[in-house]
């Protein structure tokens, strides 16, 4: 599977701001958690990355993960978070795209499509909100409208981001992440390309959304050996080899 390559967006102002935010959160993120993240992204840019949503810390994961590849990336975030005076400014500075629920998602979908047409990738959390454990017995909650509409209107490849451990770092209901002075929880991210769908299925919003959520549920199943690995974050000062780098 070809790895993600750099897109033309790496020269844009938002991409530099994305990098500044990612760099600023690097140390706090390292203090809050151990990291097990991929060294190669399995799809070419531009692409649509769909991830499960268990914590607000998932947004931090997006910045931390994709900046390792210097990827030109837009992270889709619920519009209500843009209303906060500080968080809204930071999200806009990092190129995040606001999206509402239901039919109102069309505005966010349009912004995603425009980014994809520019050669920039998009990260979207199909569930549209943080899903508590009681509502995800199979690992994921029900998808919102956004992923189905976006996938049906774009030919960009789809990839899955299965994220675990973030709800231990920043549990639902807490205003801030939990700082542990003992053993830090492990944030693990698995990224795989979604098996290409038949054209008819790709144009069917419900089918493509179901395929994405089923794929995420499979990736989120705990491995037989669940021993947390050592931190496998790619070195910050290393330059990925040609063809190994590139991202909502």
Residue 18 has pLDDT above 70, yes or no: yes
Show the 3-state SS of the chain: CCCCCCCHHHHCHHHHHHHHHHHHHHHHHHHHCEEECCCCCCCCCCCEEEECCCCCHHHHHHHHHHHCCCCCEEEEEEHHHHHCHHHHHHHHHCCCEEECCHHHHHHHHHHHHHHHHCCCEEEECCCCCCCCHHHCCCCCCCCCCHHHHHHHHCCCCEEEEEEECHHHHCCCCCCCCCCCCCCCCEEEEEEEECCCCCHHHHCCHHHHHHHHHHHHHHHHCCCCCCCCCCCCCCCCCCCCCCCCCCCC
207-213 mean pLDDT = 96
So what's the pLDDT on residue 182?
A: 83
Residue ranges covered by each domain of the chain: 16-171+184-220
- Which of the two residues, 236 and 206, has the higher pLDDT score? 206
Q: What is the pLDDT of residues 35-78, one digit of tens each?
A: 999 988 888 889 999 999 999 999 999 999 999 888 879 999 99
What pLDDT shows up at residue 140?
98
Whether 246 shows a pLDDT value over 60: the answer reads no
Confidence of residue 9 (pLDDT cuts 50, 70, 90): very low
Average pLDDT, the chain: 87
* Average pLDDT score over residue span 13-34: 92
Confidence tier at 101 by pLDDT (50, 70, 90): confident
* Percentage above 70 pLDDT, the chain: 85
């Amino acid at each position: 599977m070809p790895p993600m390559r750099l897109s033309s967006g790496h020269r844009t102002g938002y991409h530099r701001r994305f990098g500044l935010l990612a760099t600023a959160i690097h140390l706090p993120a390292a203090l809050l958690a151990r990291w097990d993240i991929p060294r190669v992204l399995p799809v070419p840019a531009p692409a649509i990355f769909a991830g499960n949503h268990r914590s607000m810390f998932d947004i931090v994961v997006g910045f931390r993960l994709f900046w390792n590849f210097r990827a030109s990336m837009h992270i889709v975030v619920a519009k209500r978070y843009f209303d906060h005076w500080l968080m809204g400014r930071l999200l806009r500075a990092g190129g995040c795209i606001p999206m509402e629920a239901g039919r109102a998602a069309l505005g966010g979908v349009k912004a995603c499509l425009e980014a994809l047409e520019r050669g920039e990738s998009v990260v979207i959390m199909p569930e549209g909100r943080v899903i508590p454990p009681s509502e995800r017995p199979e690992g994921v909650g029900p998808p919102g409208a956004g992923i189905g509409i976006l996938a049906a209107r774009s030919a960009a490849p789809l990839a899955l981001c299965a994220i675990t451990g973030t709800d231990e770092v920043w549990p639902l209901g807490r205003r801030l992440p939990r700082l542990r002075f003992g053993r830090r929880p492990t944030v693990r991210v698995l990224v795989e390309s979604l098996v290409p769908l038949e054209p008819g299925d790709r144009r069917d919003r419900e089918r493509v959304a179901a395929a994405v959520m089923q794929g995420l549920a499979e990736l989120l199943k705990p491995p037989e050996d669940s021993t947390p690995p050592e931190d496998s974050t790619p070195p910050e000062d290393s330059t990925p080899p040609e063809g190994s780098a590139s991202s909502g």
